Amino acid sequence: MDNDHDSDNSRSTARGERSDAALESEVDDDAALVQAARAGDAAAFADLLERHYNRIHGLAFRLTGSAADADDLTQDVCTALPRKLAGFRGDARFGTWLYRVVVNAAHDRRRRQKTHAEAAAAWGERERATRLELAEARQRREWLIEAMQGLGDDLRDTLALCLAGLTQAEAARVLDVAEGTVSWRMAEARKQLRRIDEEQQS
């Protein structure tokens, strides 16, 4: 029994030593690739990305919960990584540092999405308000056109010209009347329109 126990311990120790050795080898390889990639070695950067791509994407999927969003987040990280490598000081394993980069990228992406959502909501509110204002303006125009039919010909003609953008002096020349007459007709037209509105409201 003791021999079996010692044998198990030996195998466990050997596995641990191999695991530690593999980890040290990975750390050394990463450090060498990072150094080369920083120096502009495209092949070293490609190797570094290939070694860690699945880890990046796996974490991205866990952070986003969506395959499509994970693809986008992974793309963001891979695109930014050449620039980010300048910030890797070697205080932690490259894989640990890379996870931090992915998490930070996810936070940035969430902030952008929130900002976009808020902007879209604000735009939607403005759009609805604009549509409401346009609808109200259209209703007022339709009411005015209909109400003008209840005015006398002189008042209706004068009001129509002024609503078309003519000044009272210009309307007076078109109608061949004094400017004071146009001024009186406009005041009278407004008074009659208010009365029509009050009658409709009552």
User: In terms of pTM, does the model score above 0.75?
Assistant: no
Residue 130, domain member (yes or no): no
Query: Given its phi and psi angles, is residue 31 left (phi above 0), alpha (psi -120 to 50 degrees) or beta?
Result: alpha
SS3 120: helix
Identify whether 24 is part of a domain: no
Domain count, the chain: 1
Structural domain contains residue 71: yes
Range of the domain at 142: 30-116+136-201
pLDDT in tens, the chain (202 residues): 555 555 555 555 445 444 554 445 555 678 888 888 888 888 988 998 899 999 999 999 998 888 998 999 999 999 988 888 887 877 778 888 889 889 988 888 888 877 777 777 778 778 887 888 888 888 888 888 889 988 898 999 999 999 888 899 999 999 999 999 999 999 999 999 999 888 888 7
How far is 161 from 64, CA to CA, in rounded Å? 63
Residue 102 CB partners (closer than 8 Å, separation 6+)? 56, 59, 60, 63, 73, 77
The CATH number of residue 78's host domain is 1.10.1740.10
